[in-house]
Structure 1
Amino acid sequence: MKKFFACVLAATLLSATVQAQQVQPIDGIAVVVDEGVILQSELDRAVGNIRAQYAGRAAQLPPPDVLERQVAERLVLLKLQVARAEATGVRVSDQEVDQAIAGIAGQNRASVEQLRAQLAADGTSFDQFRDSIRDELLVQRLRQRFAQTQVSVSDAEVDAALEAQQATGQQYHLAHILVALPEGATPEQIATGEEKILGIKSLLDRGEMDFAAAAVRYSDSPNALEGGDLGWRGENEIPAAFANLVRQMAPGQVTAPIRGPSGFQLLQLVETRDAGQGGPSVVTQVRASHILIRVDENTSAAEAKAQADTLHARIVGGADFAALAREHSEDPSSQAAGGDLGWFTPDQFGPDFGAQVSALADSAVSTPFRTQAGWHIVQRTGTREADVGNENQRAQARETIGRRKLEEEWNQFLREMRGEAFVDFRTGNATADAAETAPEAPATGD
């Protein structure tokens, strides 16, 4: 969440929320997205703020029509994700939005009122800001739900990742440029995409543009405006098709064009570093069981709390906790075990849950409390000191593999959602064909 809060101010600039306020007559519809719209004022505001971020580096930005199309596509994707989240029952309360805004203000060492004043000075209304935060939280939860249902990591995959880590101990900072191809691309579309990626590679080889600037100008990837930066990754976070290539590259080197499921790519190894090896790590673990009553489209927060209060009263009255968990808990991973979560560090399931468990004595039962998942009742059953060095390594490997799988599956999900959507660009510049973003005859020189 810290990273989310640090980045969310920039994400505000790309909010696709249609404001409830009265639209001025000069405002128009820039893009129709299924049953919603993106207003020209939203698109102009987002483009303007991207330009502000590149103050002093305007030459790195693509031509105005291409920049507008890139930003419009981001807004389209955000609107589609928000719509999908709402359609599948994902909800964010006003209180949760307020907490997120307070967190953002704290990250910027400001009060909420100071943040409000800064937004006004930057030309962004507080209502627009609130709506953008709500949208980002909705998308975040949609992604979390997607990960829980679509991504799994086997013990064999963890074993292989740890073996590879011990062999190399390296992490890689990567960046990429994508020339996207539609599903079922025609031979002509493939040829055009190949010509474009070869042109970009030629520009890089001749030193006419650095990789980050080329990504901003020519890449079709959602992270194009960040210079195509993919961040630091271990080998188990890199698709197998690329891992062997990356292992043999020197920092600064760029691959030849690679054909992947989403189109043609160029991959750059920015730098490497030693991942390090974890040693013994002794931590305090607790063991606990819980009963979860979810808040969703079928159960309101008030109804979930009332059910949790009733179950708590029964436990206080002598009912068996495990039996009630098996009968009523809505956590599929622990329900069959009577709510038993096994041994874990208090912060493993998030700060709200961890604070409640830490405050309990062994054998004690909490009063009902709320987290993002719903209403919980927790019974703490034990405490121990444990060396979790190897366990932590396995957990980290499982997390990084899951992150890599999630990225692949999520990007495919976004491509499919975008392909199925009705999107009509009404603004003149945003209708520019993507093929026009290709460098002009780069392979021939001047």
Structure 2
Amino acid sequence: MKKTLTAITLVSSMMLSLLSSAKAEVVELDKVAAIVNSGVVLESEVKDLLDNIKGNAERNNQALPSDRALRTQVMDKLINDSLMLQMGERMGVQISDAQLDETINNMARENKLTLSQFREALVAEGVNYEKYRENIRTELISGEVRRANVRRRVYISPQEVANLLDEMKAQTNQDIEYNLGHILIEFPPEPNQQDMNDAKTRADKVIELLNNGSDFAKIAIASSGDANALEGGELGYRNINELPTLFSELVDGKAKGEIFGPIRTGLGFSIVKILDIRGRQTVEIEEVQARHILIKPSIILSEAKAEETLQGFLDQINAGEADFADLAKEHSEGPTSVRGGDLGWADPKSYDPAFRDALARLSIDEYHKPFRSSFGWHLVQLTGRRMLDATDQMNENRAYQLLFNRKFGTESARWIKETRDEAYIEIFEQETN
């Protein structure tokens, strides 16, 4: 591997003390380079990190500052590490071997290598792998300590998020194109009040059908008086500035799938749907609607009896002898019983894994045979499935994270300075080579 791995850049190498001597020679006793509260930084740690930085810089043809300036940077890093580790010990922060292995596995994947290939590449560059692991552990602990202490110092107001969202919107709007669907419920040439009332009634019916999931294109072909009716009412992709003013004001900043209307115009009542948006990232999440009957096994109700009871309910429902909602109200345990077992719309990932997997196997209105979850035995029916546009929420989360990251960096530096100011630190000058 000609180039140094992503994980071993010059910056990251300043965070890792990796090299060790394999020669069985008599060496002088280690020296203390600094005292940090109850801990120490050893001269061997300073030397290892300096050597590692210089080795990486040489392999990458990178220039370095003077030895004195470089040593100052190394000392700052090791002192901060010592402070973080001591604080982490007091806080009870621990990084398990499993967490450490997962982090290193991720680093290997980022470099498109297997773990064994990644390790071989490190060793080929003169890195002591066991020291490498422990230095990664140190970095993870330091990161946890810093986040725990700095997070509570960062406040993001809703107004800050709103302002940044406006800025982001202004920067990206010019690239957004909307594909709108349009249905026009026309007036006759010289409409009277009754004509307008009749048109409004038909438009309201169209809205009702669309909100209940009817196909927009089919309704447009059947009912629209617009020139694009035979194309399913589709207007094609247009920049917001190319849309009729009335439409552009309606759809600006709205999400895919939203329906607007009826809107009174000079020709009749318009109904508009955002069929698609391109030029910006959109995120959709699935939601499911279901209802269930829950029976919890107990000392007097065995697992087998609970399953048998629900199977009996299912047989009655399929035979038309019982109503699901009535059975749920009478027999289901839990807060949904009063609603006939209705769980409403929810992200399936929010459910118990067994419940989530059962729903995934069902078609609309289908029942699943009784199954066990961590809550008990269920009889479940899937009543709906839909895709929900979560782009606005994604953008809001992104704006919040951008603001948080911006403030976190500033506040983190301030917190580390305060921590160092409050610590006892004594640095012993050593000659640089």
TM-score, length-scaled by structure 1 = 0.47
TM-score, length-scaled by structure 2 = 0.48
